[in-house]
Amino acid sequence: MKTTHLIALIFLLTLTAGKVVSQDQPIYPTTIRTGHYYGLSKPLRDLPVITDDERKALEEREGKEDLNKWPNPTYPYAATALPQGPDPVWQNFHGEDRGFETDAIGVNFDGQSGRLDPTGCIGPNHYMQTINFIYAIYDRVGTLLAGPTALNLLFGAVPGSGCNDGDPIVLYDEQADRWLVAEFSLCGANDYMLIAISQTNDPTGAWHQYSFDVDDVPDYMKFGVWRDAYYMGTNTHAAGSDDCYAFERSKMLTGDPTAQMIGFDNPWRPGNSMGVQAAIPADNDWTFAPVGEPGIFLILNEDGAAGGSDQLWIMELAVNWTTPASSTFTRVQQLNVAAFTGDFGAGWDNIAQSGVAQELCAVSDIVMNAPQYINFGTHETIVLCHTVDVDNTDHAGIRWYELRRTTGNWTIRQQGSYAPDAHSRFMGSIHMNQYHEIGLGYSISSSTLFPGIRVCGQNALENALATGIMNVAEMTVVTGTVSQTGSNRWGDYTACFVDPVDDRTFWYTNMYFLTTTNARPRKICSFNVYPATIYVDQSVATSGNGTSAAPVKTVKEALNGAGNGTDLYIKGGTYDEVNPLFFPYEDMMLYKWGTSGNPVIK
């Protein structure tokens, strides 16, 4: 394609990104069932630790399932699919703003070792991590408090609990101050979703134990917390099978045995050429969505695989627990996004590693865990990400979006594809905190780099400008020292969440490979994308309030994400958090008066 044509195409895509396509007609539930309730578990701190033999048996069983987990993706429309060239929103440079000379990685410790599917969540006093078949609970500095224990023991004797089949999810329900853990059960005549809700905010204590009879093979399930339900989406290809669910949250929180499940057979699935296709529910952090607002599900349409245009489809599930049959599921928007491709070839050998021929599975063309919804009052926000090939050379990057709604429909506020150098980045997970800062974690690998873990972010000032740039410099969580052989599976998802204590710090878990064993430990870390503390030279001037202090940096240099929630005084004026360009910030100086006379940015 000629350069001028490519530029014109990029411009056109920019103009059309966020366009809204017509609303579809709602559908009604195909399944309404009451769950099986077994009662309270024993305190998790008292359950037996998994033995080495038990762990080995589970890993051997899972190893046989590594290859060909999903149908191979195909791309029948690749010849006409966009982009016919580089990703139009490709960030091919590193962010430079790391604030000041501080280490933004906080805690950083190894969690459990195993094969696949690392996920975990931070709560007020604990970090709970699950991998396939196993859970473990830590305090906030990494001390092991419970486990590692076989995950199915958490579910007691509910139907399906005799299996320990994995694909686990753990969430902290901040509005209820409770925890949710789920895994599927596939070994019996019926397939079940096992769900447990903690009795208190202490996950090492007792849990309410449920199972729900769901459609066959509820693969790759993901959960979202919402006011009126726990929502779940699954990778279920077969027509006539449910793949979007609601579970009766209010009853499950109290251990009510009459808690119901509603299932929908979602007709808005992209073409079967896509190897993984799941409508993933948004997870509501902090303040609930307005009363009556339906739960939100998101799914990608990749034009090379499914035809049409590269789009983000938004669905809504409006549940009615009084009259469940009147509940509805509807595709309400089709957002055109900047063109992307998830085409790494017709198979799952996608991402190069150093020193070996074995490649890793990118898990492209699906919204990664977990899309996050935030109600800021004046507006609503969703952030989400997925893996793309930025230049059609199997060079993976993280495509991410910030959606915003003030009234009416969702629009794309900003989007970008983060691939700042020749290495591939994949298995992303993204979250925004209450200060409009964004944290992004992912795996990294290439033909010259062993697989490792890194994080980056966007600070508040960059977010206010909606540039689509991850401007906070990349940080290394762990540097890989060996590549994986014998399997292309590199987990299926990772997990980034915001600390509910300060509503600001990001916590992330992902896996890497050891040199001395075949185990894959899960690193658990916390990180920030703002500077820690600034102390100024006390020798220069006296402020208007009589405190001796002097500025050290311009706003552009010193802010780096600190603005929201911080009193900033600029030459007698207060920093405008809504419109940071209100002042000519290149020339303005930054103050924050602390009680000791030192200007401090929290």
What is the domain partition of the chain in residue ranges? 34-527, 533-602
DSSP readout, 316-373? Answer: EEE--SSSGGG-EEEEEEEEE-S-----S-SSS--B--TT-S--B----SSPPS--EE
Query: Which of 347, 271, 301 is closest to 69 using CA atoms?
Result: 347
pLDDT (0 to 100) of residue 430: 98
Q: How distant, in Å, are the alpha carbons of 234, 468, 511, 571, 598 from that of 217?
A: 9, 37, 25, 62, 59
Write the pLDDT tens digit of every residue in 471-489: 999 999 999 999 988 888 8
Indicate whether 496 pLDDT > 60. yes
Q: Provide the whole-model pTM.
A: 0.86
DSSP 591: B
**What is the C-alpha separation between 483 and 1, in angstroms, rounded?**
36
Indicate whether 128 pLDDT > 80. yes
**What is the C-alpha separation between 84 and 95, in angstroms, rounded?**
26
Cβ neighbours of residue 141 closer than 8 Å, sequence gap 6 or more:
107, 109
CB 387 within 8 A of CB 399: yes
pLDDT (0 to 100) of residue 353: 96
Write the pLDDT tens digit of every residue in 148-163: 999 999 999 999 998 8
**What is the C-alpha separation between 57 and 40, in angstroms, rounded?**
28
Span 157-178, average pLDDT: 92
Write the pLDDT tens digit of every residue in 396-443: 999 999 999 999 999 999 999 999 999 999 999 999 999 899 999 999
CB 356 within 8 A of CB 485: yes
Tokens, residue 554? 């311009």
Tokens, residue 199? 């009795």
Query: What CATH number was assigned to the domain covering residues 34-527?
Result: 2.130.10.10
Find how far residue 333's CA is from the centre of its chain.
21
In the chain, the N- to C-terminal Cα span, in Å, equals: 49
In terms of Cβ atoms closer than 10 Å to its own Cβ (0-12, 13-18, 19+), residue 96 is: exposed
Q: Per-residue b/e over 147-186, b at no fewer than 16 CB within 10 Å?
A: bbbbbbbbbbebbbbebbbbbbbbbbbbebebbbbbbbbb
